[in-house]
Amino acid sequence: MAQYSAAELERLRERWLAPPHDPAALDGCPSFGEFLRQRLAEVAALLARPADQSEPPVDWEKKRPRLRAAWEKSAEPLFRRTMAELAAAGLEAVLPLPPAQYSIREPVDLRGADCRGASFLGAHLENADFTGAELSGADFRAARCLETRFAQANCREATFAGAECQFARFDGAQLDNASFAGTDCSMVRFDRARLKQAGFGDAKCYATAFHGALLANAELAGMRINHFTTFGTPGEQLAAKSSKQPPANARQEGDDWYIVELLPLWLKAAEVNAAIRQLLKGHGYFIEADEYQYQEMVCRRHLLQASRLFRFYDWFFKDLIFGYGLKWKRPFITLLVIITLWGIGFFLHFYGSGTPLASSLGNGFYYSVISFTTLGLGNAQELTGFWPKFLICSEALLGTILMPIFLLAYARKILQD
C-alpha cells in the first residue's frame, strides 16, 4: 500500500477544519471536526463501563461478546448516523479511498480525523480507514478491525487489547506505548511503525510483518508467532546505518558526537535484535534466531571504540570470513578460496620446474588439499626450496584455524535442522 505524502495528509486533515454548508445540519458546529468530537464524546459516554476500565483483560473470548453487544445496542446507531450526517453536510473525501482486499462492510472514512481519546470499545470497524488520523489514547479494546487502515496515524498510548485486527495496516503509524495485549494481529503489517514500549503480551502475531519497525523496549516476549512472522531489519538498525559517521579529521568532536548520538542507536539496535532472537528461539525457530544473533553481533561491533586496525580485524576476520561462527558458508567459501589460491602457488612451482601442465595441475591441487587438512607430506623431494615450504606451512596454519570453525558452524546448523 502506497503511503500518502505529507501534502496529501495535510489535505486530509484540513478537510475536518472546513465549515459545513449548513451549520444547523451539524448541531451548529463550526466545523466537521468539532461535530465529530462532540459525537465521539457522546459515544464514549454511552460506552462508559467503570468495571471494564480497571478490570485486567484476562479472558477476551468471554469479554469480547459482551463489549460488542454493548456497542451494537448503544453506540453503533449513533456512530453510523454521525458518519451519514457528515457526508450529507458536505464533508469532502479529498482523495479516493483505496479499494479493500476483503469487502466486509461499508467503509468509514476517518482519514486525518482528530479522534484522540475516543472510545471504540467493542466497535465494528471493518474496512474503516483511519490513515493519518489523531488517535492518541483511543480505546479499541475488543473492536473488530479486520482490514482497517491505521497507516501513518498517531496511535500513541492507544489500546487495542483484545481486538481482532486481522489484515489491518499500521504502516508508518506512531504506536509508542500502545497496547496489543491479547490482540489478534494475524496478517497485520507494522512496516516502519514506531512501536517503542508497545505491549504485545499474549498477542497473536501469525504472519505479521514488522519490517523496519522501531521496537526499542517493546514487550515481545509474550508474543505468539509462527514461521511466517517476519521482522526484517529493525528500524533502529536502519537508523544507525543511515546516520552520518563523525569526521575523521575532528577526532575529539567526532568521539563526542559518536558517544552522544550514534552509540545509543547501535546499542538499541543490538538490544532489539537480541529481543527478536530470544522470541524466535523460544518458539523453536533456531535458524531464524541465528540471523538475529548475527545482526546483534554486527551492531555490537559498532559499539567498539578502538583503532582502525582493530576494527578492520574485527570486521574482516570475525564477520566477513567467520560470520561470528553463525554463517557456515563463509568459512567454507574461505576454505575453497585458500585451497584454490595455494593450489595455484603449487602449480606454478611444478610447472616452472618443467612438469607437464596436466601433472602440474594435479600435483598443485593434491598438495594444496593435504597441506590445508594438515595430513602431512612426508619427505617430498620435489618440494624443496623456500617457496613451496612457505606455502605448506602457511596453508597448514590456516587449515588448523579454519577447519574447526567450519565444522563447528556446520554441525550447529545440522543440529538445528
User: Mind listing the pLDDT tens digit for each residue in 86-101?
Assistant: 998 888 888 888 888 8
Note the pLDDT of residue 259.
57
Contacts 24+ apart (CB under 8 A), 19-26: 20/89, 20/90, 20/91, 21/89, 21/90, 22/89, 25/85, 25/88, 25/89, 26/85, 26/86, 26/89
**pLDDT at 388 exceeding the cut of 80:** yes
Are the CB atoms for 85 and 26 separated by under 8 Å? yes
Gap between the Cα atoms of 130 and 127, Å rounded: 10
Domain residue spans in the chain?
A: 1-232, 237-305, 329-416
CB-count exposure of residue 414 (10 Å: 0-12, 13-18, 19+):
exposed
Scan for cell 482519514, then name that residue: 111
Identify the band that residue 377 occupies on the pLDDT scale cut at 50, 70 and 90: low
What is the separation, in whole angstroms, between the first and last Cα of the chain? 35
* pLDDT-above-90 percentage for the chain: 56
Which triple of cell numbers denotes residue 66? 459482551
Task: State the average pLDDT over residues 353-366.
Answer: 89
Scan for cell 486533515, then name that residue: 13
In the three-class reduction of DSSP (H, G, I as helix; E, B as strand; rest coil), residue 368 is classed as: helix
- How far from chain centre, in Å, is Cα 110? 27
Are the CB atoms for 206 and 226 separated by under 8 Å? yes
Using only the alpha carbons of the chain, give its radius of gyration: 31
Task: State the average pLDDT over residues 136-146.
Answer: 96
Gap between the Cα atoms of 148 and 107, Å rounded: 9
Note the pLDDT of residue 26.
85
User: For the ranges 54-58, 75-79, 349-353, which has the lowest average pLDDT?
Assistant: 54-58
Gap between the Cα atoms of 1 and 96, Å rounded: 14
**pLDDT at 249 exceeding the cut of 50:** no
Identify the band that residue 386 occupies on the pLDDT scale cut at 50, 70 and 90: confident
Could you read off the pLDDT of 162-221 as tens digits, one per residue?
999 999 999 999 999 999 999 999 999 999 999 999 999 999 999 999 999 999 999 999
Identify the band that residue 417 occupies on the pLDDT scale cut at 50, 70 and 90: low
Q: Do domains 1-232 and 329-416 have the same CATH topology?
A: no
Q: Which residue has the higher pLDDT, 281 or 305?
A: 281
Note the pLDDT of residue 136.
96
Gap between the Cα atoms of 364 and 348, Å rounded: 8
Q: Phi and psi dihedrals of 402, rounded to 5? A: -80, -35
H-run or E-run covering 46: helix 32-47
Note the pLDDT of residue 250.
42
What DSSP string runs through 97-157? PPPPSS--S---B-TT-B-TT-B-TT-B-TT-B-TT-B-TT-B-TT-B-TT-B-TT-B-TT
Gap between the Cα atoms of 122 and 139, Å rounded: 9
Scan for cell 511503525, then name that residue: 193
Of 159, 212, 151, which is closest to residue 3 (Cα–Cα)? Answer: 151
Are the CB atoms for 201 and 183 separated by under 8 Å? no
CB-count exposure of residue 12 (10 Å: 0-12, 13-18, 19+):
buried
| In this structure, CATH architecture of domain 329-416 | Orthogonal Bundle (1.10)
Beta bridge partners of 184: 164, 204
Of 244, 238, 289, 286, which is closest to residue 266 (Cα–Cα)? Answer: 238
Could you read off the pLDDT of 27-67 as tens digits, one per residue?
889 999 999 999 999 999 998 865 444 445 568 888 999 99
Which triple of cell numbers denotes residue 351? 610447472
CATH assignment of 1-232, given 2.160.20.80, 3.40.50.150, 3.10.20.600, 3.40.50.10090? Answer: 2.160.20.80
DSSP type of residue 275:
H
**pLDDT at 325 exceeding the cut of 80:** yes
User: For the ranges 20-34, 267-281, 288-302, which has the lowest average pLDDT?
Assistant: 20-34
